[in-house]
Amino acid sequence: MIELRNVSRFYQRGADVVHALEQVSLEIPAGRFVALMGPSGSGKSTLLNILAGLDRPSDGQVSVAGRKLGDLSEDELAEFRASHLGFVFQFFNLIPVFSARENVELPLLLTHLNKAERRERAETALRIVGLAERAGHMPAQLSGGEQQRVAIARAIVTDPEIVVGDEPTGDLDAKNAEEVLGLLRTLKQEFGKTVVIVTHDPRAERYVDEVLLLDKGVFQGSRPGGAAAGAAPAHGAPR
Amino acid sequence: MIKFAPIVWRNLLRNKLRSLLTGGAIMLAIALVCVLRTAPEGFDAFLKALAKNSRISIHNTAGIVYSMPYAYLSRVRAVPGVVDAVSWSWFGGAVDVDEGVAFPNFAVDAETIGVVFEDLGMEPAAVEHFRTHRDGALVGRMTMKRFGWQPGDEVTLTSTVYPLTLTFRISGEIPADQDPRFWLQRAYLEEALKAQGIASDQIGMIWARIDQAERVPAVMKQIDDMFRNSEAETESETEKSFFQNFFSILQGIIAVFLIVSWLVTGCIVFIAANTASMAVRERLRELAVLKAIGYRWRLLFGTLLAEATLLSTLAGASGALLSLGFTRVLGTLASTTPQMGPLSGFEVTNWILVQALFIAFFVGILSGVVPSFGAARRSVAATLREVF
C-alpha cells in the first residue's frame, strides 16, 4: 500500500516559489498497476519521486509498504529503496561498460548474496523479461526495447513489492512500448507487484488498472484503466 | 567491498584515451618528481665521493680567495692529531689561455701530498715520481681522458695568475673517474717565481689529514684558536663541508629542484582533478540511477574516489619505474663519459620510490575528492530533474 496524505512540494527557483504538488492525498493498494498522467509540468514525476523515496515532500506524509518515509534518514531511505522498490527510467540507463547480466546484478551487490547466487538471480530476472539468451550482450548491442527490458529485469531482480517507472515507454517505438507495457502488466498479474508509472503514452491506459490524473500539481481524480475489470480502484481525494 | 571493484575498474577503462592521457601526464610528472628528488642525495653522494671525513681544509677566515702565510703549514703539522698537511695554491694554468682555465690546478707540497691524500689510491710509483721530479704533475683521470694525456707526456700550462708558462711531465694519474684536478710542485712554482723576482711566501690554503675522524672537531678548533688574532685568521672545516660551501650554488639549485617538484605535484593534482570532474559529469545520470536503486552516497563516493586514486597510483608507479630506468641509463652513461661525472650518483632509491607512490596516491585522493563528493552527495531527484 502506498499512501500520501496532504503532500505538497515547493521548489525555490530564483526569487519564485514553484508549487510542484499541492495537498495531494491518495492511496494505491498493493498489487495495483497505476498510471500517473497529466500534462507536462503537472507534477507527475515529482509525485513519483516522492512516493519512491527519491525526494521528500515539503509538507504532508508518505507511507509506503507500512513505513513512513518521512521518519527515515537518507541511509535508511536508500536501504528502503534497495529492498522495497524497483526503478525503470525513460532512457533505460544501463551502465554501458557492463553486460546485460552485470547490469541486472547491480542491485544485488547491495545484498549478502554470493557471486553464484547473484548470477542465478540475474539470469532468472532476464528469463522473465525474455532476454536470457542476451545476458552476455553489452547495452550498445541491444535494441532500445531490449535495453528497457534489461532495465525492468534490474528493477525486479531483488523481488521488490513495488516497481516504479518514469516514462518507461517514452523512448521506445510503438511495438517495443507495447511489449514493455505488457511486461509491466505481467509483473502485476503474475508476480503480484504494485506498479506505478508516470506516462504520457495513451497506450498505457489499456494495460493499467487505474489512471490517476494530475494538473498543475493538484490531484484531479482517477479513472479506471483498460485492465480494470474486477480490480479495486485506487482511492484518491481530488481537489 | 571487493565485489564493487569491477565497477571501479570498468569505469576506469571506459574512456581509454582519456585515462591514458591523464595517466601519461601523471606518469611523466611523477618520473620528473623522482628524478628531481634524487638531487639532494645525489649531491650528497657526490660530496661523499669527493670528500673524506678525516681530512680538513684550513683557509683564511675572510674566504678561500684570500691567502695566508706559508709558515702556517709547519705550525699546523705540529698540532697533535695531524698526520700531515699540504699547502695548496691556485695556479690557474691554462692549456690555451684564450680558452681559459679548463681544469682546476694547484701547487702542492710534493713531500706530503701522497700522505694527506692517501685515500685516493694513487700509484706509489706515480707519487714517488712526482716527489722526486720538480716538474712532475699528478693529473685527475677526467682531465687525462679529456685531453688524451698519458703518464710521461709533457704538458705546458700558462698561468692566469702569475706571468709564467711552465712545462710539466705527467708523473701519473689521480685514479678517480670524476677527478679533474692537476697538481704541480710548489717548489717548481716557487723557483719560477723567484726567477721573476716575485715573492712566494703565501699559500691559498692547507689540507690536513687527521689521525682519527672523532678528533676532527677538536683539532679544527685548536688550529683556528692558534691563528686567532694573527694577520690571517683561519677557518677550518671538514672536506665535505668545504665542498658543500664551495658548491653552495648547487644547493640553491637543489632547493629550486625540490620546489619545482612540489609545483609539478600541484599541477598534476589539477590535471587529474579535471579528468575526474569530466568523468563524473558524464556519469551523473548513472550515478542518480545507482542512488535510486539503493546505493548509498558513501559507497558511490568510495568507488569514484577509488577510480581517481587507482589511475593516479598506477600512473605514479609507472612514472617511478620510468625514473628508475632513466637514472640507471644516466648512471651507465656517466660511468663511460667522465664529463657526466656526478650524474652517476643520482640514484632513485627505494625511499624515493615509496615517496613517489605516496605522492601519486595522494594526488589521486586530492584530485578525486571534490568531484566525487559533489556527485555522490547530489540529490537524486535534483539530478533526475536535470538530466532526464
pLDDT tens-digit profile of B100-155?
Answer: 888 999 999 999 999 999 888 899 999 999 999 999 999 999 899 989 999 999 99
Suggest the residue from A84, A110, A156, A159 to mutate for an interface test with chain B (most B CBs closer than 10 A). A110
φ, ψ for residue A232, nearest 5 deg: -75, 130
Identify the pLDDT of residue A235: 52
φ, ψ for residue A143, nearest 5 deg: -75, 170
CA distance A27 to A4: 6
- Cβ atoms of B211 and B77 within 8 Å: the answer is no
Residues 6+ apart with CB under 8 A from B201: B69, B70, B71
Amino acid at B23: G
Q: Which of B159, B151, B230 is nearest to B196 (CA)?
A: B159
- Cβ atoms of A43 and A217 within 8 Å: the answer is yes
Terminal-residue alpha carbon distance, chain B: 30
Partner residue facing A166 (CB), from B11, B14, B388 = B388
Distance from CA of A200 to the nearest CA of B (A): 15
**Closest-approach residue (CA) in chain A for B16:** A97
Rounded mean pLDDT of chain B? 86
Residue A178 has pLDDT above 50, yes or no: yes
Which residues of chain A make contact with B297, given a CB cutoff of 8 A?
A: 74, 78
CA distance B148 to B129: 20
- Cβ atoms of A163 and A194 within 8 Å: the answer is yes
DSSP A231: P
Amino acid at B244: Q
Partner residue facing B286 (CB), from A55, A93, A109 = A93
pLDDT tens-digit profile of A121-137?
Answer: 999 999 988 888 999 99
Query: Are β-strands B136-140 and B182-185 bridged in parallel, bridged antiparallel, or unpaired?
Result: antiparallel
Which residues of chain A make contact with B289, given a CB cutoff of 8 A?
A: 87, 89, 93
User: 3-class SS at A185?
Assistant: helix
Task: Please give the grid coordinates belonging to residue A160.
Answer: 521488490
Angle separating helix axes B297-336 and B284-292, nearest 10 degrees: 140
Which residues of chain B make contact with A106, given a CB cutoff of 8 A?
A: 290, 293
Identify the pLDDT of residue B387: 47
Query: Are β-strands B182-185 and B105-108 bridged in parallel, bridged antiparallel, or unpaired?
Result: parallel
- Alpha helices (H) in B51-198, listed in sequence order: 72-77, 113-116, 124-132, 141-147, 186-195
pLDDT tens-digit profile of B41-94?
Answer: 777 776 666 666 688 999 999 888 889 999 999 999 999 999 999 999 999 999
Q: Which of B188, B205, B210 is nearest to B70 (CA)?
A: B205
Partner residue facing A97 (CB), from B14, B379, B381 = B14
Using the beta-carbon criterion (under 8 Å), do A81 and B388 form an inter-chain contact? no
Which residues of chain A make contact with B2, given a CB cutoff of 8 A?
A: none
Strand partners, B58: B206, B236
* Residues constituting chain A: 239
Whether A89 and chain B come into contact, CB under 8 Å, resolves to yes
* Averaged pLDDT, A69-76: 90
CA dihedral A84, A90, A92, A93 (to 10 degrees): -80
Which residues of chain A make contact with B388, given a CB cutoff of 8 A?
A: 45, 89-91, 166
Whether A87 and chain B come into contact, CB under 8 Å, resolves to yes
**Closest-approach residue (CA) in chain A for B297:** A75
Q: HEC string of A78-122?
A: HHHHHHHEEEEECCCCCCCCCCHHHHHHHHHHHCCCCHHHHHHHH
Query: Are β-strands A2-13 and A59-64 bridged in parallel, bridged antiparallel, or unpaired?
Result: antiparallel
Amino acid at B44: D
* Averaged pLDDT, A62-84: 90
ipTM of the complex: 0.86
CA distance B35 to B331: 12
User: 3-class SS at A61?
Assistant: strand
DSSP B118: G
Using the beta-carbon criterion (under 8 Å), do A81 and B292 form an inter-chain contact? yes
Confidence of residue B39 (pLDDT cuts 50, 70, 90): confident
**Spans of all domains in chain A:** 2-94+160-236
pLDDT tens-digit profile of B148-200?
Answer: 999 999 999 999 999 999 999 999 999 887 788 999 999 999 999 999 888 88
Residue A234 has pLDDT above 60, yes or no: no
Identify the pLDDT of residue A99: 94
Amino acid at A146: E
**Closest-approach residue (CA) in chain A for B299:** A110
CA distance B114 to B127: 6
**H or E element at residue B361:** helix B350-377
Partner residue facing B294 (CB), from A97, A98, A107 = A107
Task: Please give the grid coordinates belonging to residue A10.
Answer: 515547493
pLDDT over 90, % of chain B: 42
- Cβ atoms of B179 and B142 within 8 Å: the answer is yes
pLDDT tens-digit profile of B339-368?
Answer: 555 566 678 888 889 988 998 898 888 888
Q: How far is CA B300 from the centre of its chain?
A: 45
Residue A168 has pLDDT above 70, yes or no: yes
Which residues of chain B make contact with A98, given a CB cutoff of 8 A?
A: 6, 10
DSSP B86: E
Identify the pLDDT of residue B55: 87
Identify the pLDDT of residue A93: 82
Q: A56 vs A92, which has greater pLDDT? A: A56
Distance from CA of A49 to the nearest CA of B (A): 7
| Alpha-carbon distances of B12 from A9, A140, B26, B304, rounded to whole Å | 38, 18, 15, 9
pLDDT tens-digit profile of B10-25?
Answer: 888 888 888 899 899 8
Amino acid at B112: T
Q: Find cell 552476455 and name the residue.
A: A136
Amino acid at B7: I
CA distance B291 to A52: 12
Task: Please give the grid coordinates belonging to residue A25.
Answer: 492525498
Amino acid at B300: L
Which residues of chain A make contact with B379, given a CB cutoff of 8 A?
A: 55
Using the beta-carbon criterion (under 8 Å), do B295 and A78 form an inter-chain contact? yes
Suggest the residue from A9, A76, A97, A104 to mutate for an interface test with chain B (most B CBs closer than 10 A). A97
Residue A149 has pLDDT above 80, yes or no: yes
- Cβ atoms of A59 and A233 within 8 Å: the answer is no
CA distance A217 to A149: 31
Identify the pLDDT of residue B274: 84
Partner residue facing B295 (CB), from A46, A86, A110 = A110
Suggest the residue from A44, A89, A159, A171 to mutate for an interface test with chain B (most B CBs closer than 10 A). A89
**Closest-approach residue (CA) in chain B for A113:** B3
Q: Which of B139, B105, B135 is nearest to B120 (CA)?
A: B139
Lowest mean pLDDT among A92-106, A172-186, B145-159, B342-356: B342-356
- Cβ atoms of A68 and A61 within 8 Å: the answer is yes
Task: Please give the grid coordinates belonging to residue A223.
Answer: 479513472
Q: What is the DSSP string of B134-172?
A: TTEEEEEHHHHHHHT--TT-EEEEEESSSS-EEEEEEEE
Which residues of chain B make contact with A48, given a CB cutoff of 8 A?
A: none
Counts of helices then strands in chain A (DSSP H, E): 6, 11
Q: Which of B303, B369, B12 is nearest to A106 (CA)?
A: B303
Distance from CA of B295 to the nearest CA of A (A): 6
Using the beta-carbon criterion (under 8 Å), do B294 and A45 form an inter-chain contact? no
- Provide the number of CB pairs (under 8 Å) joining chain A to chain B: 67
Residue B388 has pLDDT above 50, yes or no: no
- Cβ atoms of B15 and B279 within 8 Å: the answer is yes
Q: A140 vs A232, which has greater pLDDT? A: A140
Task: Please give the grid coordinates belonging to residue B142.
Answer: 677526467
Distance from CA of A78 to the nearest CA of B (A): 4
**Spans of all domains in chain B:** 2-48+249-387, 67-231
Partner residue facing B388 (CB), from A83, A91, A154 = A91
Whether A115 and chain B come into contact, CB under 8 Å, resolves to yes
CA distance B186 to B105: 11
* Averaged pLDDT, B375-384: 79
Residue A239 has pLDDT above 60, yes or no: no
Using the beta-carbon criterion (under 8 Å), do A110 and B289 form an inter-chain contact? no
pLDDT over 90, % of chain A: 51
Residues 6+ apart with CB under 8 A from B34: B319, B320, B323, B324, B348, B352, B353, B356
Q: A238 vs B305, which has greater pLDDT? A: B305
Partner residue facing A79 (CB), from B285, B294, B385 = B294
Q: Find cell 673517474 and name the residue.
A: B177
pLDDT tens-digit profile of B88-98?
Answer: 999 999 999 88
pLDDT tens-digit profile of B269-311?
Answer: 888 888 888 888 888 888 888 988 889 999 999 999 999 999 9
Q: Which CATH architecture has domain A2-94+160-236?
A: 3-Layer(aba) Sandwich (3.40)
User: 3-class SS at B272?
Assistant: helix
| Alpha-carbon distances of B26 from A214, B322, B360, B380, rounded to whole Å | 54, 12, 8, 33
Task: Please give the grid coordinates belonging to residue B95.
Answer: 692549456
Confidence of residue A232 (pLDDT cuts 50, 70, 90): very low
**H or E element at residue B199:** none
